[in-house]
Structure 1
Amino acid sequence: MITAPVSRFARSLAGVVCLLAAALPANARAAGPPSAPAVPRTVSAWLPYWDQENAYQDALRHADQLHTVSPFWYKAAAADRIEGHPGAGDARIIGGLHRAGIDVVPTVMDMDTMKPGALAAVLTTPALREAHTAALVRLARSHGYDGIDLDYETIASTATPDYHRVRSAYAAFVTGLCAKLHALRKQCVVTVSPQTDTTGRIWDYAAIGRAADRMRIMAYDLHWSGGPPGPLSATSWYDGILRRATALVPAGRIEMALPGYGWDWPADGSGPARHVTWKQAEALRREVGAPYALDPESGTPHFTYQDGDVPRTVWYQDARGTAVQLAAVRKYGVRNTSLWALGFEDPGLWKVLAQQ
């Protein structure tokens, strides 16, 4: 089994402990009570490039809980080319996060960057897959990064004839990439969709769990912008996701990625939803005078209001809802969580996550 690279924070802390111990007289070191272990950092979070400064300051405020920040900075443009979003590779942000003891593991995504089927062709063609792996390794070695987070969500549909071939190819690609990153003492993180009886099957959880340091499950958008209104996540849904995931991947390698946002739909589902952060959702609720209501079945707050002649409904997530849903996460021994995304969330969420 591959051992995860030692974090920058752990290395720094170990060095400080050794220096302090050496400075004490031998009898003082021997006579004193054992030191209390440091509280482990159990949270990672994505940093959105479109709200970069706000998200960065949010990360610094919660550095004692964050082990990893993944700036949402890069996109796969071709087999041999990774392109950056605005602000990618910002040295000030990378340096500031490192000084705070946080590893920087940028995300590479594939949404809206390649023609349909292009990424599947890269994965299933050995020469193209090798070129893509090399491009990602080059990125990981740049800017002092601590690894790479792969967020490839449009690989193939379960309805295509190539589904099983692409699934196997992606597992082989992840296995090879993670091995090369580990040889450089870099982390390999893989972001996946929730796997249920009908969704998320493009990812071979068992193979990814063997290869990657952490597998991040995007446990949100149970109801999404293009569908009917409803909760973004639900306690029973989390239970089903983790029952399957922990049967295939050790709990210590799983991160449950939680929502810090919501959607604002036409109440009849007649159109797409508007994205709202927790702050925007709460401000709107207070503005329209809607009472706070936590759906007992899903563990998600929601409210309705009138926008001119159009009734609308908002489902979102806050600290109280997360506290309810985390019971299902604890049940399966998963302690590590991720947040989508920094700057979106209820500030009270951090206290809830500290108890996870």
Structure 2
Amino acid sequence: MIQRFAALVRLSALCLATVLLAALAPPRALADAPPARTVSGWLPYWDQEGAYQDALRHAAQLHTVSPFWYRAAASDRIEGHPGAGDARVIDGLHAAGIKVVPTVMETMKPGELAAILTDPAARATHVETLLGVVRARTYDGLDIDYESIAPTGDAAYVAVRAAYAAFATQLCAKLRELGKTCVLTVSPQTARTGRVWDYPALGRAADKVRVMGYDLHWRGGDPGPLATPQWYEEIMRRATALIPAAKLEMGLPAYGWDWVPGGTTRHVTWKEAEALRAAKGVPYQLDPVSQTPHFTYEEGDSVRQVWYQDATGVAADLPVLRRYGIRDTALWALNFEDPGLWPVLARV
């Protein structure tokens, strides 16, 4: 009898241990779950179908797509690019579980946007005009990408900085009343750049602040990498000191520039850069500092330099983001990228 009782005790203990282990073990569904949705991506209107299909292929990682659909032309006028508001794209992204937050950009002449923002009446009109865009479709919010104020000179930048912050605060509050997301896209703030953005005010106003982490070297300057880990370190140190990390998205490049001394600089996607490298028979090589791919080739009497970004280059930058608690990234742009980038982004 005692032996039978002892056996029952041992059996009960074994069953209890099994139950406890099962409770502590991760559910199979979670263990087999796809990567978390930590990526947003811009959808270029000039490659709308290709970018749309790219988004659907990677829907498990994308939480938001921002079609590059609108341009602010005046305080009371927003113009659509070709394909703007395409219901098939909106509905297809929604069916894949992706939010649709279109981008409104602007290419106004110097001073025009600043004049709108610093005039309270014009600013209020502009906010209402933008709200008309988000009400016109089943959008989930707006992404504001206003860049012409970035180089504002010394005499005016303090006023323009305050005016943009006031505009963002008003717009984001109105969007939130409608249950919509407010995204603000800004240039990096470093010791030499980005002073026109009031990061603390924008961080309080927005749901997400996208920092354009590209064009360290750009079409108007000398050849070089679009980003480096050292540059990202400076950007993230400043940004996370002023904006909660959970609100930040780091914009990553999926493109590059093709420079020639004294000539025209060309934009190239990763796909175009790799096709060009293969066509010229140039070996793949990485810059040892930035871990960015680059190559040179001859065209007529000129020697051109191409610097671009791929999965290897982005993988070199991600440890900086992890160190500062940044999980969300924004890709410029969908269907530009190295396919190997997606598993890399899953490790952010």
Superposed, which structure 2 residues align to 1:295-314 within 5 Å?
295-314=287-306
For residues 2-44 of structure 1, the C-alpha deviation after alignment (integer angstroms, 9 at most, x for no partner) is xxxxxxxxxxxxxxxxxxxxxxxxxxxxx98774556530000
For residues 122-158 of structure 1, the C-alpha deviation after alignment (integer angstroms, 9 at most, x for no partner) is 1111111100000111111221000000000002534
Structure 1 residue 326, shift from structure 2 partner: 1.0
Cα distance in 1, alignment partners of residues 26 and 178 from structure 2: 35
Cα distance in 1, alignment partners of residues 268 and 164 from structure 2: 33
Is 2:182 the partner of 1:167? no
For residues 212-242 of structure 1, the C-alpha deviation after alignment (integer angstroms, 9 at most, x for no partner) is 0100000001111121111111110000000
Aligned to 2:61: 65
Answer whether contact 2:310 2:341 (CA < 8 A) is retained. Answer: yes
**From 246, 253, 267, the counterpart of 1:275:** 267
Identical residues among aligned pairs (%): 66
Cα distance in 1, alignment partners of residues 170 and 275 from structure 2: 47
Structure 1 residue 317, shift from structure 2 partner: 0.4
Q: Which amino acid aligns with 1:144?
A: T
Q: Which amino acid aligns with 1:164?
A: V
SS in 2 for 1:343: coil
Aligned to 1:51: 47
For residues 64-83 of structure 1, the C-alpha deviation after alignment (integer angstroms, 9 at most, x for no partner) is 00000000000001111111
Aligned to 1:251: 245
Q: Which 4+ residue blocks in structure 1 deviate beyond 3 angstroms? A: 31-39
Q: Structure 1: state its 5+ residue gaps.
A: 1-30
Structure 1 residue 160, shift from structure 2 partner: 4.2
Structure 1 residue 272, shift from structure 2 partner: 3.0
Is 2:240 the partner of 1:240? no
Answer whether contact 2:99 2:140 (CA < 8 A) is retained. Answer: yes
**From 182, 185, 189, the counterpart of 1:191:** 185
Answer whether contact 2:93 2:100 (CA < 8 A) is retained. Answer: yes
Answer whether contact 2:104 2:142 (CA < 8 A) is retained. Answer: yes
Structure 1 residue 285, shift from structure 2 partner: 1.0
Answer whether contact 2:36 2:346 (CA < 8 A) is retained. Answer: no
SS in 2 for 1:295: coil
Cα distance in 1, alignment partners of residues 162 and 111 from structure 2: 15
Moved more, 39-48 or 68-77: 39-48
Is 2:89 the partner of 1:93? yes
TM-score, scaled relative to structure 2: 0.90
TM-score, scaled relative to structure 1: 0.88
CA RMSD of aligned residues (A): 1.4
Answer whether contact 2:150 2:194 (CA < 8 A) is retained. Answer: no
Aligned to 1:13: none
SS in 1 for 2:331: strand
Judged with a 3 Å threshold, the aligned counterparts in structure 2 of structure 1 residues 265 and 108 are, in CA distance, closer, same or farther, namely: same
For residues 247-296 of structure 1, the C-alpha deviation after alignment (integer angstroms, 9 at most, x for no partner) is 00011100000000011111xx3223111111111111111121111112
Aligned to 1:319: 311
Cα distance in 2, alignment partners of residues 190 and 156 from structure 1: 14
Aligned to 2:324: 332
SS in 2 for 1:300: coil
Aligned to 1:78: 74
Q: Which amino acid aligns with 2:303?
A: P
Structure 1 residue 344, shift from structure 2 partner: 0.5
Cα distance in 1, alignment partners of residues 267 and 63 from structure 2: 27
Aligned to 1:119: 113
Cα distance in 1, alignment partners of residues 110 and 278 from structure 2: 43
Q: Which amino acid aligns with 1:330?
A: R
SS in 1 for 2:142: strand
SS in 2 for 1:82: strand
Structure 1 residue 299, shift from structure 2 partner: 2.0
Aligned to 1:12: none
Cα distance in 2, alignment partners of residues 34 and 233 from structure 1: 38
Answer whether contact 1:227 1:272 (CA < 8 A) is retained. Answer: no
Aligned to 1:286: 278
**From 225, 229, 239, the counterpart of 2:223:** 229
Cα distance in 2, alignment partners of residues 131 and 110 from structure 1: 16
Cα distance in 1, alignment partners of residues 185 and 330 from structure 2: 10
Number of aligned residues: 322
SS in 1 for 2:83: coil
Answer whether contact 1:117 1:156 (CA < 8 A) is retained. Answer: no
